[in-house]
Amino acid sequence: MTKEFIASEMKALQSRICKRLEEIDGVSKFIEDDWIREEGGGGTTKIIRKGDLIEKGGVAFSAVHGPVSEIMKKQLGLEGNEFFATGVSIVLHPNNPHVPIIHMNVRYFELNDGTFWFGGGIDLTPHYVIPEQAKLFHQGLKSICDKYHSDFYSKFKNWADDYFYIPHRNETRGIGGIFYDHQTAESGLSKEQLLKFALDLGDNFASLYDQQAELGRHKEITPQQIEWRNLRRGRYVEFNLVNDRGTKFGLLSGGRTESILMSLPANASWEYNLKLEEESDEQKTLNNLRKGIEWI
Amino acid sequence: MTKEFIASEMKALQSRICKRLEEIDGVSKFIEDDWIREEGGGGTTKIIRKGDLIEKGGVAFSAVHGPVSEIMKKQLGLEGNEFFATGVSIVLHPNNPHVPIIHMNVRYFELNDGTFWFGGGIDLTPHYVIPEQAKLFHQGLKSICDKYHSDFYSKFKNWADDYFYIPHRNETRGIGGIFYDHQTAESGLSKEQLLKFALDLGDNFASLYDQQAELGRHKEITPQQIEWRNLRRGRYVEFNLVNDRGTKFGLLSGGRTESILMSLPANASWEYNLKLEEESDEQKTLNNLRKGIEWI
């Protein structure tokens, strides 16, 4: 299975996901930006704005290659001479505070010494955590994982709890999901199966989000809920700019800034030392932003 | 001159600055939070919200001490056993897009082996750069610097150009100002003079800002200018969370998150791949966000 084949599968996945998301949104269409990377490769960034469901979102494909740079050696611990990387990344910020923010990434990496690995994940960031809805999301992920390996869900769920965590806030970003990295043939799956797993996650992404969106997008909203949504977006910005290894690596290594930062919301808010009512929905949400909750 | 004396001077400086800023704002007063650091020391964070001039701002004092941690050794290259650090930090975000964001920091650091140094700076981030106003600001800084050392202004001005820079945007944060670090007795100034310089900067801060504010705060504003202000605030957030060494070090080393992130605006916006009209005030501003401009 060549890297070109994997890249073409990723590109096709991006198209399928965007088509489904446009159907789900019902109003807005993706605009498309092709870009070329000077050192080798390029990508297509698709952006949706001011939809009925999605206020701002992006679905990015890239396939890049070139010499392993000093920063890649240092930050990723790589030792080859040439790398190739391809994948699809998504972040969607909805209008309605009762609909969660969602993120997905599936990626493939190889070095010219023949080593390769897959990574990826899907995680959900509700502005208001509702345990029954979190359960539905995790059940959906588990049923995909279980098709490939009986250990995947619990292993990758814990990995997501650890990865999507904001130490300086002592909060998880949301209710987690799954996260995995460096999956090689030693994972128990062949290269073909690992690609199939990634594509399966991608092809279920829009339905998983639609399920969550339907439960919230028609709910009435108050100005206070919008304020809270914007404060939670502030935390999302903090995670992405301070903690997310992918974002930091992308910015430091001279990636395409606009494609990397398409993950940021249309707007975000900050308030000094916000205090919440103990029994409020907002405080209940904070109480659920911690590692180790078994949602299923 | 003891570290306790320097800390008490810093604390008194914070009070004087807040008093002046309240006069300048004319409407809002600072609220005050005292906090204690588990490992030693503490601080007072003063926050102003929803003023006539200032939408959100903070003036923070701290005096902390304790063992030099692993992260301090690694990130700051320190080799002592015990450190002491005190200083005042300010960020003010105004309502009116025609008034700049301003930042100031003066700080003192010592180790138990007897070494010490001062650091600090003031820099200005106009939402709309007006070269004549930038000139006034730099002239004000130069006249303070010139009282202490004929090299300070040009040296510290270039240092600010380098420090307040956003590599992933290829933009400076604003029109710069002055920045300095690691100023010891080898700077040509004694410990007493270095403290006096820091306090002089602090005591001129409010007047420098008042001068800028008066030139903008009564100007009429359009919704488009508010949008642009919010996008520029987005860049301010990016600098602080991605590039600012002080913020990163503070968050990584377990500093008080609310005091560190008081620098963030009430709100901020992001737009994918924004395109501006060539002759617009916004594009002219971007053209002025680069290193090496001699404003005087």
**Ordered DSSP codes for B138-170:** HHHHHHHHHTT-TTHHHHHHHHHHHHSEEGGGT
The better pLDDT of the pair B291, B76 is held by: B291
Q: What is the interface pTM, i.e. ipTM, of the complex?
A: 0.95
Catalytic-residue membership of B103: yes
Beta-carbon contacts of residue B151 (< 8 Å; ≥ 6 apart): B188
Of chain A, the percentage scoring pLDDT greater than 70 comes to 100
Statement: residue A72 has pLDDT above 90: no
CA angle centred on A120, ends A115 and A125, rounded to 5°: 160
Mean confidence (pLDDT) of chain B: 96
Binning pLDDT at 50, 70 and 90, where does residue A249 land?
Answer: confident
- pLDDT > 80? residue B80: no
pLDDT in tens, B252-270: 888 899 999 999 999 999 9
| Terminal-to-terminal C-alpha distance of chain A | 36
Backbone phi, psi, residue A223, to 5° = -60, -35
Write B149-158 long-range contacts (CB < 8 A, 24+). Answer: B149/B187, B149/B188, B149/B189, B151/B188, B152/B178, B152/B180, B152/B197, B153/B178, B155/B180, B156/B121, B156/B180
Mean pLDDT of B122-132: 98
In the sheet with B82-94, reading across from the earlier edge strand, the strands are: B31-36, B41-49, B54-67, B82-94, B101-111, B116-125, B176-183
Task: Spell out which residues of chain A touch residue B47, defining contact as CB-CB under 8 Å.
Answer: 272-273
∠ CA A261-A264-A269, rounded to 5° = 140
Determine contact, residues B212/B97, Cβ cutoff 8 Å: no
User: If 0-12 CB within 10 Å is exposed, 13-18 middle and 19+ buried, where does residue B204 land?
Assistant: middle
Q: Does B242 touch chain A (CB under 8 A)?
A: yes
Helices (H), chain B: 3-25, 70-76, 131-146, 152-163, 191-214, 223-238, 245-252, 257-260, 281-287
Residue linked to tokens 């820091």 = B198
Lowest mean pLDDT among B19-28, B76-85, B224-233: B76-85
Question: B-chain residues within 8 Å CB-CB of A265?
Answer: 270
Torsion on CA atoms A179, A181, A185, A190, rounded to nearest 10: 40
Contact between chains at B272 and A47 (C-beta distance less than 8 A): yes
The reported pLDDT for the residue numbered A254 is 83
Question: In Å, how far is B242's CA from the nearest CA of chain A?
Answer: 6
State whether residue A2 sits within 8 Å of chain B by CB: no
Judge: B237–A241 Cβ closer than 8 Å, yes or no. yes
**Where is average pLDDT lowest: A74-83, A159-168, A184-193, B175-184?**
A74-83
Examine the pLDDT at A196 and tell me if it is beyond 90: yes
Q: B150 to chain A, minimum CA–CA distance in Å? A: 36
CA-to-CA distance for A239 and A178, rounded, in angstroms?
Answer: 17
Catalytic one of B93, B98, B103, B138: B103
CATH 3.40.1500.10 is the classification of domain B3-287: yes
At residue A229, the pLDDT reads 98
Q: What is the mean pLDDT of residues B16-44?
A: 97
Most A-contacting residue of B50, B247, B270, B274 (CB-CB within 10 A), to test interface:
B270
Is the backbone of residue A113 left (phi > 0), alpha (psi -120 to 50) or beta?
Answer: alpha
> Does A199 contact chain B (CB < 8 Å)?
no
pLDDT in tens, A11-30: 999 999 999 999 999 999 99
Residues A151, A142: Cα–Cα separation, whole Å? 10
Q: Does B248 touch chain A (CB under 8 A)?
A: yes
pLDDT-derived band at A185 (thresholds 50, 70, 90) equals confident
pLDDT tens track for A96-152: 999 999 999 999 999 998 899 999 999 999 999 999 999 999 999 999 999 999 999
In this complex, do A270 and B272 lie within 8 Å of one another by their Cβ atoms? no
Rounded Cα distance between A158 and A152, Å, is 10
The Cα diameter of chain B in Å comes to 57
- Does the distance separating the beta carbons of A267 and B267 come in below 8 Å? yes
A271: nearest CA partner in chain B: B266
Handedness of CA B65, B68, B70, B73 (dihedral sign): positive
Amino acid residing at B219: K
Residue B88 predicted with pLDDT over 90: yes
- A–B: how many Cβ contacts below 8 A? 75
The predicted structure's pLDDT at residue B71: 82
Matching residue, tokens 């990826």: A120
Judging contacts by C-beta atoms under 8 Å, the chain B residues touching residue A269 are 266-268
pLDDT tens, residue by residue, B141-181: 999 999 999 999 999 999 999 999 999 999 999 999 999 99
The answer, for B49 touching chain A at a CB cutoff of 8 Å, is yes
What is the torsion angle, in degrees rounded to the nearest 10, for the CA atoms of residue B248, residue B253, residue B254 and residue B257?
A: -20
φ and ψ at residue A107, rounded to 5 degrees? -150, 155
Average pLDDT, whole number, for chain A? 96
Binding-face residues of B in 19-48 toward A, CB within 8 A? 33, 45, 47
* Spatial contact of B105 and B31, defined as CB atoms under 8 Å apart: no
